[in-house]
Chain A
Amino acid sequence: MSQIAAALKDDAALRLEEEAPRVVVRNLVRRFDVSKPWLNRVIEGGQKAILTAVSNVSFEIPDRGVYALVGESGSGKSTIGKIAVGLQKPSEGSVEIGGVDLFREKSVRRRRRARAEIQMIFQDPYASLNPRWRVGDIVAEPARSLGKPLEGGPGALLEQVGLSRRDVEKFPHEFSGGQRQRICVARALSSKPKFIVCDEPTSALDVSVQAQVLNLMRDLQTDLGLTYLFISHDLSVVRYMADTIGVLYLGGLVEEAPRDALFARPRHPYTRMLLDAAPRIDAFGREVPPPKGEIPDPINPPTGCAFHPRCPLANDRCKRERPEMRQHGTTRAACHAVEEGRA
């Protein structure tokens, strides 16, 4: 009897695990110590300097979902990506992928299995391919090192991303930027991952080539049922790729909304500023006052809401109190003005 109960419980747990969101990021914090060396501090009397690259970020990516993080430089988007794949340790909080926290999971077997399901595509296709390796070896490497079978060999993968089977013998320098990024995509797919972090995958490419790579990445996502964490600074690319978009400012999530809601009705003043500032191709002769100010120093961030020095709606409360993420319809936003109905 107790055995049956235990089995049922296991079954329920399993089902729960299946239905649970694939990627759960909870209260993620990452700090970097950017102080001068100890001796300099002693002699010059300097203080320790701590840069908070990611502060208290929480979001979830459902299975087969595409979640995009947008933000300007220094917003912490790449740091979150690196933590998600396990390249960097979080200072606080956790990232769970398929129920496994890579940094806390005790079982080696589960950790390995979780890790084998994660891959990453980097921004610069010139720096992320070893120039001395043949493309076939580059593409087969993740499958080999994770001990997974590679059906059809690297040639089949190259065909899947629109290259030729014969390209396995070539070296990376024989390919253009767009083709190299296709090789990076093929390499990411070779270990049959379920979750791929794409860190600015098309920022180094020309527009017409970017279109080819974005189309390919979206086709693969639907065909193979992949989950993407898509990191970009380009709102138009994000609008094309993502289901849900999180907007980062100075390490914190300021707004999160389904794609259409974000573009139709941006709530946070920073999101609005970004949307207004982004150049538009139908905007010739447009005369809008450009946004005020610049991103503040992340080592000494402003008190309260990090955006308040540039915000047109800021008041005393914004200077004192850091706003929490709150639900407003389908949108989550961290803004006192939105909460008080001033926005």
Chain B
Amino acid sequence: MRPSPKAVLQVEDLVVEIPTRRGVLRPVDGVSLSIGAGEVLGVVGESGAGKSMMGSAVIGLFEPPTHIAGGTIRLAGERLDLMTPAQLRAVRGREIGMVFQDPLTSLNPLLRIGDQLTETIRTNLRVSRREAEERALAALIEVGIPGAEDRLRSYPHEFSGGMRQRVVIALALCAEPKLVIADEPTTALDVSVQAQIIALLKRLCRERGTAVMLITHDMGVIAEAADRVAVLYAGRMAEIGPVADVVGKPMHPYTEGLMASTPMATAPGERLAQIPGAMPRLDAIPKGCAFHPRCPVAMAGCVLDPRPTIAECGGRAACWVRAHEQRTEYTA
């Protein structure tokens, strides 16, 4: 993939490594993806799939010794992976907004909401105190907080979980970033509030042309919110494509299993399909295709290196078997 001019975020062959005494672990291994303006890319995977590591890599929030060991990350053409910590700090918040799972830990409990918003706005944009305050109020109104004018003077603990997450979204968007990374933004919320937050995030980003990386384990949230989906397994990309294809007609055996095992997709009274075993630990990722020990369609070749990549298997799913099936379908 060449850097495309339209993509806001372009990640190519990203490798993240954690050196440990027992060897080097790779929580992200050769992942490529891009997100266009106004597009929502869902990143799904189960725990240990490396989805949060992806997000952290893009914003450069790693604790040493974890580091980017290969590949490139471009934000509107600029190489994020080559930036110094100081340069990255200028990008974070200004160019990239972040929304995390727990809204209470992303807000400062000792500062009023209004002060937190104006501080963020003044750090990132060159505006007067007065104008920053006006923008803060506008941001709160936009995310749908009732009585916004009075609420500027409230502390985070005075808000409910859903309202807090709205404040966090206002904070993430107030500097008008090009990209928002939302890491499990609705996991801590109730269903009815979750629907509100997803609708809000979708609407605001579409209106402003912000690219969104929506990281979640919930297939339902992805189906509702994402335009395209990337499925991660053991740090590698298993499948990527438009949401209707990946969710509706999954191609990779792992995505198939994942979809079949959601109770939503199962008729009442029927047994849930289950994938045997569990996600491999990072220090014991199988040779060849990482999914082969759990895969119902694995062949002898799946056990061997080189492992399947999306680029080599037809651009959609990293699976030799499916790639082979597709080729025979075309010739037939």
Contacts and interface: CB of A to CB of B under 8 A. Distances in A.
A208 B257 contact: yes
Contacts of A234: 263
A290 B195 contact: yes
B319 interface: no
Interface residues of A, number: 45
A208 B256 CA distance: 11
Interface stretch (A15-23, A36-44, A133-141, A235-243): A235-243
Contacts of B265: 281
Interface in A252-283: 259-260, 263, 273-274, 276-283
A237 B220 contact: no
Interface string B208-236: 00000000011111011010000000000
B47 A206 contact: yes
A279 B190 contact: no
A73 interface: yes
B224 A283 contact: yes
A211 B261 contact: yes
Contacts of A176: 278
A240 B274 CA distance: 14
A63 interface: no
A286 interface: yes
Contacts of A212: 274
B56 interface: no
A233 interface: yes
Contact of A207 (B194, B219, B221): B219
A211 B264 CA distance: 11
B111 interface: no
Interface in A274-301: 274, 276-286, 288-291, 294-295
A237 B264 CA distance: 8
A178 interface: yes
A207 B266 contact: no
A207 B223 contact: no
A60 interface: no
A73 B266 contact: no
Interface in B135-194: 160, 162-163, 190-194
Contacts of A295: 160, 190, 192
B274 A281 contact: no
Interface in A197-253: 206-212, 214-215, 218, 233-237, 239-240
A239 B263 contact: yes
B282 to A, nearest CB: 13
A72 interface: yes
Given A208-B46, A214-B263, A281 B190 contact: no
A73 B195 contact: no
Contacts of A260: 268
B191 A274 contact: yes
B217 A207 contact: yes
B68 interface: no
Contacts of A233: 190-191
Given A210-B261, A211-B272, A239-B268, A281 B247 contact: yes
A206 B264 contact: no
A73 B190 contact: yes
A73 B188 CA distance: 10
B192 A281 contact: no
17 contacts: A72-B190, A72-B192, A179-B278, A210-B263, A211-B272, A211-B275, A239-B263, A240-B272, A278-B195, A279-B220, A281-B220, A281-B223, A281-B262, A284-B244, A284-B248, A290-B192, A295-B160
Given A215-B271, A281-B219, 11 more contacts: A72-B192, A206-B279, A214-B263, A240-B263, A259-B268, A277-B195, A281-B262, A283-B223, A289-B199, A294-B163, A294-B193
